[in-house]
Amino acid sequence: MRHIAVIGSGPAGYYTAEACQRLWGDVVRVDIIDRLPVPFGLIRSGVAPDHQSIKGVSRRYEAVALTDNIRFVGNVTIGRDVSIEELRGLYDAVVLATGAPHDRKLDIAGAELPGVVGSAALVGWYNGHPDYAELAPPLAGPGAVIIGHGNVALDVARVLAKAQQEFAGSDIVAHALAALDAATIDTITLLGRRGPHQIAMTTKEVAELNDLARAAPVIDPADLPPIEDDAQLDTGHRKVMAQLRAYAARGDSPKPIRIVFDFYAMPVAIEGGDRVQGVRVERTRLDEDGHAVGTGETYTIPASLVVSCVGYRTPPIEGVPYDDSAGRFANDEGRVGPGLYAVGWARRGPTGTIGTNRPDGYAIVEKIAADIGEGGGKSGRPALDSLLAERGVDVVTFRDWQKIETAEVAAARADAPREKFTTVEAMLAAREG
Ligand code: NAP
């Protein structure tokens, strides 16, 4: 028997468990440990609430979770309830699949002012993550600035811009729906420090701005490079450019909310007194290596809300080697140390789609198999259960989660799949039925 512990129940965690099952069948036991009483990590708390088809992948993880040899061990915090060292003693392999749930810091003056929030916090707020349920972002407008030209920046812009009825079918939490309904933001500026050819957004996501009820994208045609230059791009980027060009050609829209793409625009300071009032921006040009360099020309964009969408970091765990500049665990293609591995964003940083984590999960299990060989046979699951019972840890099982989910579905608005519990206490109470 092989005993594997996976820390984190997001996509990377579940694909790793699935790969263990495919490889070892009945002779493996996988425990997927999560600090929350609810599974699925990024799928529940990161993917936008109006992207239900992407969230639907959790049904596949559920199929994995409902097999005899895979367990969800929820409400267990590493470092508080059990340490990595203890897990390494109990399991043949420990796989860190903790994702990258913390914001990369925006390293400019004024970034700590009230009204400046990171995307992990804002996305967590509208997705009902217990850590951010109390965020209460300032939405009284008129200006919001979003820093970054990636898909997360687009998610945030779209959610801020949507009218109430456009959230039908989504699982945005009630507190966010009410706050967004009362919002008076009319200009959302997406700040990119480089140009349209360097944009990190993808076609389908950019195209979603086409259909918004009360908001329209605004692009100055003068910001776009000559069309013949698009030929040097890969197919994906060429399609994004075609969409941006279509938006630029459209001109002014009568819709009341403007989503303004500002290119070659690097934030250099957040301005304000006791709270944010604007973002000081420096115009840039690209150097030979494609990096943004300031031109000295600056201007200020008024804003009462600034959302920094500049990437994420994996929180360190005591005793686990950490690469501070990359913001993830130090690893050699997933190997962190004897019996200790990293997978997904915790291994490679916050890049790629949900699906990228599947080959990642399968690859790490191959490495584990090569390292264990015919060995293995540590005490695993029963020993963890005794340890957690001794410490009085209130473990949440997958069956418990199903009761929580049933309660969330029962509490849903008429047009929503669920109304999420936003505190750990409420989640735990919902197990009782
Ligand atoms: P991302 O794609 O890496 O984009 C980060 C953006 O922030 C880039 O435009 C980057 O500009 C900019 N940036 C970084 N540091 C900056 C700074 N100091 N000042 C100004 N701008 C800065 O990251 P993400 O948007 O967080 O997305 C993470 C991953 O999740 C991506 O792979 C993304 O595609 C994926 N995702 C997918 C979806 C979807 O498929 N629907 C939705 C959300 C996220 P530079 O290019 O100049 O560095």
* pLDDT tens, residue by residue, 179-230: 999 999 999 999 999 999 999 999 999 999 998 999 999 999 999 999 999 9
Per 3-state DSSP, what percentage of the chain is helix, strand, and coil (rounded to 5)? Answer: 35, 25, 40
Check if 99 has its Cβ closer than 6 Å to any atom of ligand 1: no
Q: What is the pLDDT of residue 63?
A: 86
Residue 312 CA to ligand 1 centre (angstroms) = 9
Cα 278 to its chain centre, rounded Å, is: 26
Q: What is the pLDDT of residue 64?
A: 85
Q: Nearest-CA neighbor of 123 among 155, 150, 93, 148?
A: 155
Check if 352 has its Cβ closer than 6 Å to any atom of ligand 1: yes
Contact 171, 126 (CB under 8 A): no
Q: Alpha-carbon distance 111 to 118, whole Å?
A: 10
Check if 205 has its Cβ closer than 6 Å to any atom of ligand 1: yes
Check if 349 has its Cβ closer than 6 Å to any atom of ligand 1: no
* Residues of the chain scoring pLDDT < 50: none
Report which ligand 1 atom has the smallest distance to the Cα of 310.
Answer: 7
Residue nearest atom 1 in ligand 1 by C-alpha distance:
150
Q: What is the pLDDT of residue 141?
A: 86
242-251 confidence digits (pLDDT tens): 999 999 999 8
Q: What is the pLDDT of residue 346?
A: 98
Task: Report the chain's mean pLDDT, rounded to a whole number.
Answer: 96
pTM of the model: 0.97
Q: Alpha-carbon distance 328 to 345, whole Å?
A: 8
The strand pairing partners of 305, in sequence order, are: 144
Residues with Cβ within 8 Å of 48's Cβ and at least 6 positions away in sequence, in order, are 54, 123, 127, 155, 158, 159
Cα 189 to its chain centre, rounded Å, is: 21
Question: What type of residue sits at position 186?
Answer: D
Check if 416 has its Cβ closer than 6 Å to any atom of ligand 1: no
Q: What is the pLDDT of residue 121?
A: 97
Domains for the chain: give ranges and CATH numbers.
2-101+314-431 (3.40.50.720), 104-308 (3.50.50.60)
Check if 74 has its Cβ closer than 6 Å to any atom of ligand 1: no
Q: What is the pLDDT of residue 48?
A: 97
Residue 351 CA to ligand 1 centre (angstroms) = 8
Residues with Cβ within 8 Å of 85's Cβ and at least 6 positions away in sequence, in order, are 319
The pair phi, psi for residue 113, each rounded to 5°, is -60, 145
